[in-house]
């Protein structure tokens, strides 16, 4: 049986890579993909703990997160397409309409 720390380090690594992707990439699609990666890292955590505590609830929440990720991807990509129709770009640093 693997110690749980291995899974946690794996999860941490994927999470950090995802965070770096979110912060450094300019393409919004890749940013979205990085977010998927982050969610996936969380899933690994949940499943690992579920295994180690013998409680299936962790897997149930992993399932919810997958559903959430699907919804988020659908809406996020819809926004991207709408934005692309309007501005002809998918670069994140050109999306600065949130500024006052």
Partner 1 sequence: MNSSGYFLSHLWLIPFFPLVSAAVMFFFGRRLPKDAVNLFCVGSVFLSFLHAMGATLKLFSLPADQRVYQQILFQWVTPGAMPTSTGLVNFVADWGCLLDPLSCVMVIVVTFVGFLIHVYSTGYMAHEGGYYRFFGYLNFFMFFMLTLVLANNLLLLFVGWEGVGLCSYLLIGFYFLKKSADDAGKKAFIVNRIGDAGFLLGLLLVAATFGTVRFTSQGLADPTAFSGILQSLASMVAQHQLAHGASVFTTIALLLFFGATGKSAQIPLHAWLPDAMEGPTPVSALIHAVTVVTAGVYLVARMSAIFQLAPVAMDIVAIIGATTAVFAATIALVQTNIKKILAYSSISQLGYMFLALGVGAFAAGIFHLMTHAFFKALLFLGAGSVIHSLSGQQDIRKMGGLRYTIPATSVPFIIATLAITGVPGLSGFFSNDQILGHAFNRHMMVDRYLALWVLGLITAGLTSLYMFRLLFETFYGMSRIPVESEGHIHESPKTMAVPLMILAFFSIVSGWLALPVLWGEQSPFERFLEPSLRGVEKDAGSITFGHHTLLVEYALMAGLVAFVVLGFWLAYKLYLEQPKLHTKLAASWPRLHNLLVHKYYVDEIYDALFVNRIKDLSTALSFFDSKVIDGLCLDGAGWLVRAFSRISMWWDKWVVDALVNTLGWFPKFLSMPVRMFQTGVFSTYAVFILIGLAILLGVYGHHVQTFMRTLH
Partner 2 sequence: MLDSVIFYFFAGIAVISAALMVTRRNAIHSAVFLITTLLATAGIFLQLRAEFLFIAQIILYVGGIMVLFIFVIMLVRLDVPLPQIRSGLQKWIALFVALTVGVEAGVVIFLARKAPGQGLLIPNPAPADKLPPNTEELANSLFRSYLLPFEIASVLLLVAMVGAVVMAKKRTEAP
Does residue 5 bind partner 2 (CB under 8 A)?
yes
| Binding site partner of 100, from partner 2, partner 1, none, Cβ cut-off 5-8 A by kind | partner 1
Identify the H or E element spanning 62.
helix 57-87
DSSP 97: T
Q: Which residue, among 9, 94, 90, has the nearest Cα to 45 in the 3D structure?
A: 9
Instruction: Compare residues 12 and 67 and give the one whose CB is closer to partner 1.
Output: 12
Please tell me whether residue 42 binds partner 1 under the rule CB under 8 A: no
Q: Which two tokens stand for residue 44?
A: 């690994």
CB-CB contact of 22 with 33 (8 Å):
no
Entry field: residues in the chain: 100
- Partner interacting with residue 31 (select from partner 2, partner 1, none; CB below 5-8 Å by kind): partner 1
- Select 23 or 66, whichever has its Cβ closest to partner 1: 23
Number of residues that bind partner 2 (CB under 8 A): 71
When asked if residue 94 is in the footprint of partner 2 (CB under 8 A), the reply is: no
């Amino acid at each position: 049986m693997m110690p749980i720390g291995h899974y946690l380090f794996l999860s941490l690594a994927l999470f950090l890579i995802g965070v770096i992707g979110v912060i450094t990439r300019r393409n919004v699609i890749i940013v979205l993909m990085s977010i998927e990666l982050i969610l996936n890292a969380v899933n690994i955590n949940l499943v690992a703990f579920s295994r180690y505590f013998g409680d299936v609830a962790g897997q149930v929440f992993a399932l919810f997160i997958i559903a959430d990720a699907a919804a988020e991807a659908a809406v996020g990509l819809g926004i991207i397409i709408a934005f692309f129709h309007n501005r002809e770009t998918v670069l994140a640093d050109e999306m600065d309409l949130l500024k006052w």
